[in-house]
Amino acid sequence: MQTRSSKSTIVATVLVLVVTLGFSLVFSDSYSRPALANENAGPSTQELRSGKNYIPTKVYGAQDDEQILKFFDDLRVADVSDGMDKVGLTNTGLMSPEIHALWKDTVHYKHRFIGIAVTVRYVPTNKPPAPRMDTVPFDRWVGQWYNQLSSEPFVPLIRKGTALVIDDAPDSDVGSIGSNNIMGWQVRGCVGVVTNATARDTDEIITEKVPLYFRKPGRGIRPGRNEIESVNRPIVCGGVLVEPGDVIVADGDGVIVVPRAHAKEVAEYAKAILDGDKAGRRNLYKKLGLPPDDSVK
């Protein structure tokens, strides 16, 4: 015959089991639903194995680019950084200070540029370098590498106002950018180039006065060192995300990337900052007896 205490113990045990089972069902259901949803939605396993990009590339027309660039006329990196703060993007888009101007013009500021991002990604190659060979076969090997593995398929995308942003192989001593091809890009409308890696022919690029922001010099040619991976896909340069169509602003303070969706609002606030700064410095120039220069006009 069960006592009152033993009955109470049985009831309590049953209640504990019911509550435990309830929690188990709730949590099991909450964790299994997303898993089932993930299995039933999206690309197949086979599609994923062949590669899948999850950040789509938005396409903008030349006229849209021109209108956005007008908002950024004469703006500096510092002004734009203030504008990014205003829209809630503090410390966003500022590339590492290691990405710096190859040359500076402290009179007319021709090293500065503002453009619309076209993105490129080169990766270090895992293919063997060329063995020692005669000139003709070596030149043939170089040409095949340039044509098949490390070409410049982004060139047709360059138009007036383009800022070419390159994610390259930073540890390879390779000059993907040189004094010849950078001028070819400029002829097509490129206003400036940014890379998280290297460039060669730096003396000539300084003489040519093409705006270039990079990490350090690289001496070697692309063949045997890197391969083209993608064009106009999201990349990382200087530690920040760069999407095709973003606004790139570069000057002596470095490089900042403005997401296209926030560009107009950022520029409007930055313009007010710049106007106030110029007015204040013009007044100080007068007090100090300094002649006006391009920075206060």
For the stretch 109-163, pLDDT in tens is: 999 999 999 999 999 999 999 999 999 999 999 999 999 999 999 999 999 999 9
DSSP 260: G
- Residue 9 — pLDDT band, cuts 50, 70, 90? low
- 206 versus 35: the higher-pLDDT residue is 206
Quickly list DSSP for 168-191: --TTS-B-SS-TTHHHHHHHTTEE
pLDDT at position 100 over 70: yes
Rounded Cα distance, 91 and 69, in Å: 22
Rounded Cα distance, 101 and 107, in Å: 15
Asked if 130 and 138 touch (Cβ cutoff 8 Å), the reply is yes
- Residue 38 — pLDDT band, cuts 50, 70, 90? low
The tens digit of pLDDT for each residue in 65-86 reads 999 999 999 999 999 999 999 9
Rounded Cα distance, 64 and 154, in Å: 20
- For residue 159, how many other CB atoms are within 10 A of its CB? 14
Identify the H or E element spanning 121.
Answer: strand 113-124
Integer angstrom CA distances of residue 39 from 42, 43, 51: 8, 9, 17
pLDDT at 33: 53
pLDDT at 172: 84
- Residue 42 — pLDDT band, cuts 50, 70, 90? confident
pLDDT at 35: 47
- Residue 31 — pLDDT band, cuts 50, 70, 90? very low
Phi-psi region of 193 (alpha: psi -120 to 50; beta: other; left: phi over 0): beta
- Residue 171 — pLDDT band, cuts 50, 70, 90? confident
The tens digit of pLDDT for each residue in 192-205 reads 999 999 999 999 99
pLDDT at 46: 87
pLDDT at 170: 80
- Residue 27 — pLDDT band, cuts 50, 70, 90? very low
Each residue of 117-155: b (16+ CB within 10 Å) or e?
bbbbbbeebeeeeeeeeeeeeeeebeeebeeeebebebb
Those residues with Cβ within 8 angstroms of residue 256's Cβ, 6 or more apart along the chain or in another chain: 77, 80, 81, 84, 93, 94, 95, 248, 249, 250
pLDDT at 203: 98
- Residue 47 — pLDDT band, cuts 50, 70, 90? confident
- For residue 38, how many other CB atoms are within 10 A of its CB? 9
